[in-house]
Every structure is written in C-alpha cells, then in structure tokens.
Structure 1
Amino acid sequence: MRIYNDADADLGLLKGKKIAVLGYGSQGRAQALCFRDSGLDLTIGVREGKSFDKAKEDGFPPVSISEATDGADIVMMLIPDEAQADIYEKEIKDHLKPGCALEFAHGFAITYGLIHPPKDVDVIMMAPKGPGPMIRRVFENGYGVPALICVHHDHTGNAKALALALAKAMNCTKPGVFEARFEQETMTDLFGEQAVLCGGYTAMIKMAYDTLVSRGFPPEMAYFEVLHETKLVTDLVVERGINGMWNSVSNTAEFGGLTRRNRVITEKTRDGMESILDDIQSGKFAEEWVEDYRNGLKRMRGLQQKDADEDIEEVGRWVRQTFFGGKE
C-alpha cells in the first residue's frame, strides 16, 4: 500500500476554491477549523439549531445548506450518514455546479446507492482516521492524524489531487495518507464498529461485569476491572501492538490471557463476525439502518435506553464522579 506524504500533495490546488463544509458536528467543526487555519476559503452550510449556533460562536457566518452549495468548487458532505440522502435530494442536488467535487468523509451513502451524484462532478473521499476533537487537538499541536482518500468518480481528471490537497490542509499528509475504494472504506469501517469497537467491545464488558456481580463481587470492583482498565490496555495495544502489550503487563496477566482467551472468543464468535460482515456486504444492515432512521430511530433509541438503565451505568457514574471528578 502506497503512503502519500507532504511532497505528494499540493495545497496550492485549493487556492481560490470556494469550499462548502456541510454540517458542523464533531467532524464538520474539526475539519472546518483546521481548514480555516490552513488559509482556505470556507462557507459553513448547516440548518438552524445547536450546530448553527456553534459555528457562529467559532466566528463563521453559517448559511443554509443550499446557499453554501451554490457555486462551491468543493462540497464536503459532513452531515450524519443517515440524513445525507434526504438532505442531498432536497437541498444539495440542484445546487451542485458542473465540475465541482462532492467530497465525503465516509462512503456509506455512495456505497449503498443512497446518493447518485451527476456525471459532471468529481466524487471523492478524505477521511481522517480519528474522532473530531482528537483531529483538532493533534492539528493544533502541529501534526495530523493519518487519513484515507478514495476516488469514486474522476470527471475532471484532478479528483485524486484534490483529495490529497484536502488531506494536506488537515496535516494528514505529515503522518501519511493511503488510498482505497469507497466500498472498502465503508465496509471495513462498519465491520470494525459493529464487531469490535462499539458492538463486541461493549457486549463483552457488560457480560464480564454481570458475571462478577452475579457471583457476589462488589460492583465497583467489577467496574474497575472490566471497564475502567480497558483503556489502559487498549492504549498499550495501540502504541506497541499486541505483542508489545504482552511485554508490558505482568506474567500472570499474559499467561492467563493467552491460555483462557479462546474460552471467550470462540469459533461461534467468528461465525457471528462472518454474519455481521455478510449483512454489511449484502446491504442488509444499510437497509435496516435507513429504515430505522426514517421510522424516527425507534429501534436504536429503545436499545440505547435499555443500555442506559443497566446497573453498570449507575455504578460507572459513581466511580467517575468519586475518583476522577467526572461530569455526566
């Protein structure tokens, strides 16, 4: 896989370009602030509400999404995935000028055919690998997070160069940028979230907590052991790799982990992961997610509330406030 760095990207390609940043949530705000610091000409397009007010606080004069899109050379779709298709049809599609670039930070809407851009625009992606606040913090420290670029449609012949220029404006070319296809980014991102980062990870924590508490161990101790300390070990894995983590924990932890982990993560777990990936590749997950969004997020909110009502959440609030001055 080729890695692109500063020398491979020309920030001058963005000089004089009108850039519309649509959406001012976690990613939209972080990217807009970094772009502004890099000297780019930005217009923030956002609906009235909390994000609109936040953009004003940050010194931007926000406008409507359609107004921001009018005449823009680069239109950055930083609106939540689930809302992109509806907003595109109502407020963006008829305002795209020929030859512009339609840019995404995640390939969901393109991969699953929820948005069908016209043939006379470039369709690209520049996806910094990190949440908005971290992206901004690293940029302010003079560096950047790695990023991924994709080209779905190259009408002008300049699509890849534009994606690299946007990455450079975020300092992402300092650590490095790699290239992939839209569907690769979409499917690996969804799989990682569902099987490990947000789905598998939280399910394992909750089950371990319940196992200890049901055997009579204090809930506060269970919380520390199976939730709080996960960050400490995860940081070691990220910084040093899995083997580096083993070299940093006790011999007891290493022996116990290596000899017992396959009792928790079994071939049935692999079967579950395969089924998750099947749903992603077939489009079944996308259909379910879009349907729930259009149904008022009833299924997601119900599951979210079920999680919020569990004992581990109440114990966690007490632990964070008591020991770490946490604010909920």
Structure 2
Amino acid sequence: MIVRGDRNEVGKLIDGFNGINQIGVIGWGSQGPAQARNLRDSLKDTGINVKVGLRHGSSSMEKARAVGFTEESGTLGEMYDVIHESDLVILLISDAAQVRHYREIFGAMKPKAVLGLSHGFLLGYLESISEKFPENISVVGVCPKGMGPSVRRLYEQDSGINCSFAVEQDIDGDATDIAIAWAVAIGAPYIFQTTLRDEYRSDIFGERGVLLGAVHGIVEALYRHFVSRRDVTVCDAFRMSAENITGPISSAISKEGILGLYNSLQIHEQAIFDIAYVTAYNPSKALLQEIYDEVASGNEIRSVVMAGDRLKEFPLGTIDATYMWGVAGRDVRESREKTGEPPIEPLTAGVYAATMMAQVDVLKARGHSWSEICNESIIEAIDSLNPYMHARGVAYMVDNCSTTARLGARKWAPRFDYAVMQQILVRYENVRAESNSLILRFKNHDVHRALATCQEMRPPIDIAVA
C-alpha cells in the first residue's frame, strides 16, 4: 500500500489522530528535533499537544528550549513523565539506550497507548532475546527515508521526505490511521507500507552498505588510486572520486535513474564503466551479503549494543581529518564556482553503480519490496545523504545520522576500501566486459522500472544543505 500525504489537510490529520491528545517525542538526537518541530507545526491549533521528553539534566534541554519547547508551555518535560502522560509515545532515543531502558519505558506507558518507532532496532533486539512488546499497547513504525536534518530541511522548503510505515501490534484497530497521520504530519509526501522487521533489516543493512559505509570506503580507495597517477593532482583526484559521486553521478541518477547515468556516457566511457562494473559487482555483493547476514542473525544488533557501553570510555573519533577531506575536499568545495561541476568519471560511476546494483540484488533475494529496495539502496543515498557529503564532507553526512548508523559506517567502510583496492582495482585492467552477462543483466534489470515509478514520488525540489 502507498498513501499520498498532505500535511495541510488538517481535518484528516485530526481524524487520523483520533483519541490522541498528547504526542510525546522522546529524545533529541538525529530524528528528535526534526520530528518534534514538524509535528508541532503541522498540528498547530488542533488541540493535540506535542511534548518533548528528555532525561532530567540532559544537555539537550537547552536545545529544545531554544526552538520553543518549554516547561512553562507544557511542551517539555522529564522523559518518563512525558511517556506516562502521552497517548502516542514516539521513541527517538538511541538504539543502545532503547535496549538499556526498554523495560522502564514499557512500564511507564499507560494501557492502550501507542508506541511509535522510527527504526525497528528494538524489535530486532527483542527477537534476539525471545521477548515481545507488552500486549496492552499498540506498536507502529514511521521511518523517514533520510536523516533527521533532511526531514526538517525539506519540511521548511514546503516539501518533505517519504516514509515507510509499519504496524507491528494493533490492539484497538486504530494503529494504521495513527501511523499514517504521524507520517503525514512530519511532512511525508508518500508513505509506503512495510513490516518493522523488513524495515530494520533493510535500514541497518543499507546504512552499512551503499548509503554510508560503502560510499565512504569507495571514495577513499578511488581517491588514493587517482592520486597514484602522476598526471592527477590531489584536487582532481577528489573531483574524480568523492565529488563525482556526490555531484554529477548523484544528479544523473536522481533525474534519470542508474540506466540514465549509463546512457549519458560516451561509447568509450561506457566501455570503461562496463569494465569497472564487472570488476566491482561480485566483490561488492559478497561483502553486502555478509552484512545482511550479520544484521538478520542479530550479530550486528548485538555489536551496536556492546559498542554503546564502550562509547562511554572511547567516544567516536573523527573520520575527516585526513588530507583528502581536510585539504583537497575543502579546496574543491571552495573552487566550485570557478571550476563548475566535473564530468562524470566512468571508473567511479561503474564501481558505484555496481555496488548499488549488488545491494539491490541482495535485498531482492531476501524478499524486500521494490519500494523499500529503491529507497534503501538508491533514493536515500542520492537525494538525502550524498548532498550532505557534497556540502561539507563525509563526516557531515555520517555524523548527522544515528549512533547505530555512525557505528556501522565506521565498521564497514574499511572493508569496502579493502575490496576496492585489493579485489577490484587490481583486476580492473584484466577484465573484458563487452561480452559479460553482468552488463546485460544490468541493462535489463527490473529495478530500472521500479525506480522510475518511485522517482515519480520524489520531492519536487532538491534538498538545500547549508
């Protein structure tokens, strides 16, 4: 099921939130500030109160007050008090925190309340320890196809980010309406139905794959490859790798699809793309299948939970302090007005497209829907995440995401870097692609039709990233 949203249909929003007098938004990480403000703005003058709940003494209290949530107005309070008061509890604290505190959170919720999740991580954890959600609450998911800052930025541009929705548990028959109303109120133009299990598997997998981890590893390896050529400057190497993916390659895919990217190349460039694609597809797919298996088995979820404990002693380090990002990337960004957008580098395009297509194939083999596959492998990358790397570098993209995503990107990016350097580029010169069945499969793949349909539902404007 696909639902078209319109947050200006206030009467329908009120109907969808029937029985909901207060929405508690718990947490102020990546999604919390965006969803709380979008809900507040969409539900202004409806009588539905949007209240932010944070830990007592949290440093985020001041951030919430700065954008208008206050104790005096009844829109800001202590986390468990807000959970207990609210009819819809949107739980947006970190995944590791959800795992640590889920028993207390469930205990604080009033009977017949609705628990809202923007990620199915908690379901995955409960399944791994053979536990379930309480039987006296409904459980729904609304999962924006982009990081929190994008959710707010596009809302402010009178647009929005598409969402998936899922109903995991419905005790009174109202859960579907509430989930759809929630998605519409945070600005989703289109809402795609999924299951919470499929959502968390595709999401955790996708951010370790082409959305974050893979693209980081790919551009690092390709940058070093281009730098090693004597006729290429460090700035040109950056333009041929990172700037190429976030600029002309993403733009071409966003507007014309992956096949459109291919068709935009000259014949001699297509020959280079073909070789790169054929060389990259199998190593990428093998690594992506490993990631999916790690997620589906619960290993990746346990890894995040254990990392949450280590982060107290060893906080996440920076990922953009190298010369590539700190000097070359900065100089390229500062010179854009003078140099313009670089031409598409076919080697980079072939490696990136092969990784995308491998991710598509892994998800399809695991039974995911085309809408989920296109969003988690292509659309979220080019329309939501890559613009952040284009604006300020890889850290601005990765570290605006959830802790789970940040951990996964740091863990798996080096594996993709290794695959490109040790498995792909070393074979690149010795592959004959013109008769390879992989290229024929790429050209005739069903994803091109599915992506064309999904792209009809993309936001009418590109995200503006400062």
- 2:53 paired residue number: 45
Q: Equivalent residue for 1:160?
A: 176
Match of 1:5 in 2: 4
Q: CA deviation at 1:260?
A: 2.9
- The correspondence for 2:63, drawn from 49, 54, 57, is 54
Alignment of 1:142 with 2:158, yes or no, is yes
Residues 219 and 315, structure 1, Cα contact 8 Å, conserved in 2: no
**Aligned sequence identity (%):** 26
Decide which of 296, 303, 320 is 2:311's aligned counterpart: 296
Give the direction of change, closer, same or farther, for the CA distance of 1:322–1:5 in structure 2 (3 Å limit).
closer
Moved more, 265-274 or 32-41: 265-274
Distance change (3 Å), C-alpha of 1:185 and 1:323: same
Q: Secondary structure at the match of 1:197?
A: coil
Residue 34 of structure 2 corresponds to 30
C-alpha distance 100-53 of structure 1, shift in aligned 2 (>3 A):
same
Distance 1:319 1:252, change over 3 A: farther
Q: Deviations over 1:209-248 (max 9, x none)?
A: 1122233332221111111121121122122211122233
How far apart, CA to CA, are the structure 1 residues paired with 2:150 and 2:285?
32
CA distance change for structure 1 residues 67 and 267 in 2, over 3 Å: closer, same or farther?
A: same
1:20 to 24, 44, 48: 24
Q: Is the Cα contact below 8 Å between 2:34 and 2:149 reproduced in 1? A: yes
2:298 to 255, 280, 283: 283
Distance in 1 (alpha carbons) for counterparts of 2:313 and 2:218: 25
Q: How far has the Cα of 1:255 moved from its partner?
A: 3.3
Alignment-mate amino acid for residue 42 of structure 1 = V
Question: In 1, distance between residues paired with 2:80 and 2:183?
Answer: 25
Q: Out of 103, 111, 125, which is 1:89 matched to? A: 103
Counterpart for residue 238 of structure 2: 223
Of residues 40-49 and 270-279 in structure 1, the stretch that sits farther from structure 2 once superposed is 40-49
Partner of 1:271: 286
Classify the secondary structure of the residue corresponding to 2:335.
Answer: helix
1:26-63 alpha-carbon deviations (Å, 9 max, x no partner): 31111111111112411101233442211101111121
**CA distance in 1: counterparts of 2:212 and 2:174, whole angstroms:** 36
Unpaired segments ≥5 residues, structure 2: 71-75, 338-390, 397-466
- Number of aligned pairs? 320
User: How many angstroms apart in 1 are the aligned matches of 2:297 and 2:311?
Assistant: 24
CA distance in 2, matches of 1:59, 1:125: 26
- Cα distance in 2 for partners of 1:19, 1:269 equals 42
TM-score by length of 2: 0.63
TM-superposition CA deviations, 1:80-135 (whole Å, max 9, x none): 21221223334x23210000000000001112217843110001101121222222
Alpha-carbon separation, structure 2, partners of 1:60 and 1:298: 32
1:259-284 deviation digits (Å, cap 9, x = unpaired): 33222x14232222111111111111
Letter matched to residue 290 of structure 1: V
The alignment status of 1:262 with 2:278, answered yes or no, reads yes
SS at 2:184's partner residue?
A: helix
Instruction: Give the gaps of 5 or more residues in structure 1.
Output: none
**The one of 127, 139, 144 aligned to 2:143:** 127
- CA distance, structure 2, for counterparts of residue 214 and residue 106 of structure 1: 41
CA contact (8 A) 1:10 1:164 kept: no
Task: Indicate which of 247, 251, 255 corresponds to 1:239.
Answer: 255
SS of the equivalent of 1:196 reads coil
Would you say 1:315 and 2:327 are equivalent positions?
Answer: yes
User: 8 Å contact 2:124–2:301 — kept in the other structure?
Assistant: no
Assess if the C-alpha contact under 8 Å between 2:140 and 2:165 holds in 1: yes
- Partners in 1 of 2:326 and 2:157 — Cα distance? 36
CA 1:6 to 1:254, structure 2 compared with 1: closer, same or farther past 3 Å?
same
Alpha-carbon contact 2:25-2:36 (below 8 Å) kept: yes
| Map of 1:110 onto structure 2 | 123
Shift of 1:166: 0.9
Which amino acid is the alignment partner of residue 34 of structure 2? A
Query: How far 1:10 moved relative to its partner?
Result: 3.7
CA distance in 1, matches of 2:135, 2:169: 8
User: Cα RMSD between the aligned structures?
Assistant: 2.6
Distance 2:40 2:203 in 1: 28
Report 1 or 2 for greater relative contact order, CA contacts < 8 Å, sequence distance ≥ 6. 2
Q: Distance in 2 between matches of 1:68 and 1:184?
A: 29
TM-score (norm 1): 0.88
Give the secondary-structure state (helix, strand or coil) at the position aligned to 1:149.
Answer: strand
The offset of 1:309, in angstroms, is 4.6
Residues 2, 190 of structure 2: 8 Å contact kept:
yes
CA–CA distance in structure 1, aligned partners of residues 158 and 216 of structure 2: 33
Following TM superposition, by how much is the alpha carbon of 1:249 offset from its aligned partner in structure 2, in angstroms? 4.3
Note closer, same or farther for the CA distance 1:179–1:141 as it changes in structure 2 (3 Å cut): same
- Give the equivalent residue in structure 2 for 1:68: 82
